[in-house]
């Protein structure tokens, strides 16, 4: 996928970014996590690289977390940023892990995705720009949002 103007501006910025840390409940400043495709490919599984770094999608009902019911935090598979809490997870019936909200809007960013003849809103990690999935307006109350994420873009840390 060729980066647009917004992504190029994000990739070129050197300043620290603010993210929310779920374990402490605090906002911290961190450096952006920028690696070459070659470096990401060495660190990630082939599926995680295709999904997180190349904006792919895993097949429904195949991901590790679509049916996980443990308590914990879902983090970015690339950089470890806290993204979603199991408290906000619900069964959307779509075959992908779905959440009503992120742990903080600071930890994600979104962009219109017009690929494949559809108009969707892509969701990305704020620290490393990993593609996580899409957000839709058909979720349950109170947000009515469905953050439909790829398991391949996530890691899971159970509550200690």
Domain of 55, CATH number, reads 2.170.150.20
Q: Are 77 and 155 contacting, i.e. CB atoms less than 8 angstroms apart?
A: yes
User: How much helix, strand and coil, in percent to the nearest 5, is found in the chain?
Assistant: 20, 30, 45
pLDDT tens string 44-79:
999 999 999 999 999 999 999 999 999 999 999 999
Domain count, the chain: 1
pTM: 0.89
pLDDT of residue 40: 98
Terminal-to-terminal C-alpha distance of the chain: 38
CA nearest to 89, candidates 99, 77, 78, 74: 99
Which range of residues forms the domain containing residue 60? 5-158
Q: Are 52 and 130 contacting, i.e. CB atoms less than 8 angstroms apart?
A: yes
pLDDT of residue 2: 44
How far is C-alpha 25 from the chain's CA centre?
19
pLDDT of residue 119: 86
- Strands (E) in the chain, as ranges, are 17-21, 26-30, 72-76, 82-85, 89-90, 98-99, 108-113, 120-125, 131-136, 146-149, 154-158
Which CA distances in Å does 17 have to 13, 35, 125, 160?
A: 10, 16, 12, 27
Residue positions annotated with a catalytic role: 148
pLDDT tens string 99-144:
999 999 999 999 987 887 888 899 999 999 999 999 999 999 999 9
């Amino acid at each position: 996928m060729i980066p647009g103007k917004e992504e190029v501006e994000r990739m070129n910025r050197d300043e620290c970014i603010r993210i929310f840390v779920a374990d402490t409940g605090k906002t911290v400043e961190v450096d952006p996590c920028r690696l070459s495709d070659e470096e990401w490919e060495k660190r990630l599984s082939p599926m995680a690289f295709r999904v997180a770094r190349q904006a792919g999608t895993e097949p429904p009902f195949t991901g590790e977390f679509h049916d996980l019911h443990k308590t914990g935090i879902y983090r970015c598979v690339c950089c470890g940023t806290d993204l979603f809490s199991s408290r906000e997870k619900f069964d959307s019936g779509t075959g992908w892990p779905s959440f009503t909200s992120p742990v903080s809007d600071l930890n994600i960013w979104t962009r219109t995705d017009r690929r494949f003849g559809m108009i969707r809103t892509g969701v990305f990690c704020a620290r490393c720009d990993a593609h996580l999935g899409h957000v839709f307006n058909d979720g349950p109350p109170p947000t009515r949002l469905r953050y439909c994420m790829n398991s391949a873009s996530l890691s899971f840390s159970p509550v200690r």
